[in-house]
Each structure stands twice: as C-alpha cells, then as structure tokens.
C-alpha cells in the first residue's frame, strides 16, 4: 500500500534534523506514543528508536496485545537550497510488516515542509491487503505523533 504524509515544522530543515538526532526528544516521542518500554540509539548515520507499544483493539486479532517496533531515521547533509533528503523505516520484528518512506525536508520561509512517501507492506498471503488497511491508521498516527511532539519542542 502506498502512503504519503506531509508535516509542517516551525523551524528550518537543519533544526528539524538536529531534533530527530536528539535523544531526549526521541525519548519524549516514545513516551507520548504510549510505549511500554523503549530504547534510543543515536548512531553516526541514523537515529534508532525501538519500542514496545500497546496495540489498538482493531489489530489485536492480527498481532496480539502489544507490538515491538523499530523506527530508523536517516538524513543526509543539506542541499544548496537548504532541503534535506532522508529515509524513515519501520520494522515490526517477528511480523511480516515493513514501512519504508523517503523523506524530504523543504524550507518554506521560517518553517519546513516534511514530505514522507513510501510503502506499507504486509506479507501475509490472502489477507495482507486487509491487514495493511487496518495497520495504515496506526502508522499514520505514529507520523502525526512525531509532528505534534516536534511542534512542541521546536516552539520552545
């Protein structure tokens, strides 16, 4: 299933990338997502968030009461116009679910437009498409939660 999300951040792209590489911010994102447990690692080329989340009732039949997720954010250096390209990948260990998105952070005056486009894939024969449509709102909410927390932090 293809998806596209657009965020607006109240800062320039370089500040957004710096925020996504801030351990305290990523901890805050996990707490606000309702993570039961989480671990953050800031690596030279990536920010990794591993967390265990309670599952919405509509998905418990497919994945159980809680699910582990690994999110990895990677961003390159700013281009001449100030834009920054990157990727956001979500893995669900133990389940045949993958989310891979290209990210483009584009300056718009004093703000940044974050465009995320990619694929949500559930590799389960016969029911994969149905599961994708049930999981998509969960993934959309994860992206929306990131935008809300970033707005809070960047507005300080």
Nearest C-alpha neighbor of 86 from the set 108, 64, 71:
71
C-alpha 126/C-alpha 2 separation (Å) is 18
What does the pLDDT read at residue 113?
A: 97
pLDDT confidence bin for 60, thresholds 50/70/90: low
- pLDDT tens, residue by residue, 28-53: 999 998 999 999 999 989 999 999 98
Q: What is the CA radius of gyration of the chain?
A: 16
CATH of segment(s) 2-154: 3.30.530.20
The residues spanned by each domain of the chain are 2-154
pLDDT at 18 over 90: yes
pLDDT confidence bin for 59, thresholds 50/70/90: low
């Amino acid at each position: 299933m293809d998806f596209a999300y657009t965020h607006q951040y109240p800062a320039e792209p370089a500040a957004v990338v710096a925020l996504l590489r801030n351990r305290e911010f990523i901890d805050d994102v996990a707490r606000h997502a309702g993570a039961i447990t989480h671990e953050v690692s800031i690596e030279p080329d990536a920010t990794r968030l591993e967390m265990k989340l309670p599952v919405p009732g509509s998905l418990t039949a497919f994945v159980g009461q809680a699910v582990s997720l690994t999110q990895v954010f990677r961003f390159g250096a700013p281009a001449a116009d100030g834009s920054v390209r990157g990727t956001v990948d979500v893995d669900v260990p133990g389940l045949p679910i993958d989310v891979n998105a290209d990210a483009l952070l584009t300056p718009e005056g004093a703000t940044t437009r974050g465009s995320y486009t990619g694929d949500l894939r559930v590799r389960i024969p016969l029911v994969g498409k149905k599961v994708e449509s049930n999981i998509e709102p969960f993934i959309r909410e994860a992206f929306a939660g990131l935008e809300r927390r970033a707005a809070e932090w960047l507005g300080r």
